[in-house]
């Protein structure tokens, strides 16, 4: 049962991200701008859409682990999990990623598994799939 907006966002994102296994990690961009920073991830050639984009804002933790010699990276799994401020315990793997304190908002925990591994925690998240690829929408093909 969904109790709050963070859980609802994670459930909706999960429906999109479930189609990303087997897709290719295309872009990972992190920007720290003023007080608002973001992590922007694009996955292409997914099972349902030409491209899926996940945007995590107000990033409190980010780690990208890419081994040497990796030129392209398949996505084995990607998940977005709520880390609720009212929860007595967070999942064991999330412990220590962010220091808990009074006033900490509900958070989003992103995990991408594959040859390139990404772990991130942020205050807000958006995920969506594009129905048409840029190439066909610009009519690059006859």
Q: Which of 7, 13, 127, 123 is nearest to 61 (CA)?
A: 123
Q: Give the separation between CA 63 and CA 120, rounded to whole angstroms.
A: 6
Report the alpha-carbon distance of residue 79 to residue 110 in Å, rounded: 6
- Residue 133 in this model has a pLDDT that exceeds 80: no
Range scoring the smallest mean pLDDT among 52-56, 67-71, 73-77, 124-128: 67-71
At residue 35, does pLDDT exceed 90?
Answer: no
Is 83 within 8 Å of 94 (Cβ atoms)?
Answer: yes
Q: What is the pLDDT of residue 130?
A: 81
pLDDT band at 5 (very low <50, low <70, confident <90, very high): very high
**Tokens 């099972």 belong to residue:** 47
């Amino acid at each position: 049962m969904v109790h709050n907006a963070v859980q609802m966002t994670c459930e909706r994102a999960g429906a999109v991200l479930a189609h990303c296994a087997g897709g290719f990690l295309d872009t990972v961009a992190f920007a720290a701008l003023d007080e608002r920073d973001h992590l922007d991830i694009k996955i292409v050639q997914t099972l349902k859409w030409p491209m899926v984009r996940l945007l995590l804002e107000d990033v409190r933790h980010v780690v990208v682990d890419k081994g040497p010699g990796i030129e392209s990276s398949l996505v084995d799994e990607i998940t977005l999990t709520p880390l609720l401020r009212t929860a007595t315990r967070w999942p064991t793997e999330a412990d220590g990623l962010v220091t808990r304190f009074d006033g900490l908002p509900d958070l989003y925990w992103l995990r991408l598994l594959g040859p390139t591994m990404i772990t991130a925690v942020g205050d807000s998240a958006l995920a969506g799939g594009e129905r048409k690829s840029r190439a066909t929408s610009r009519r690059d093909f006859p």
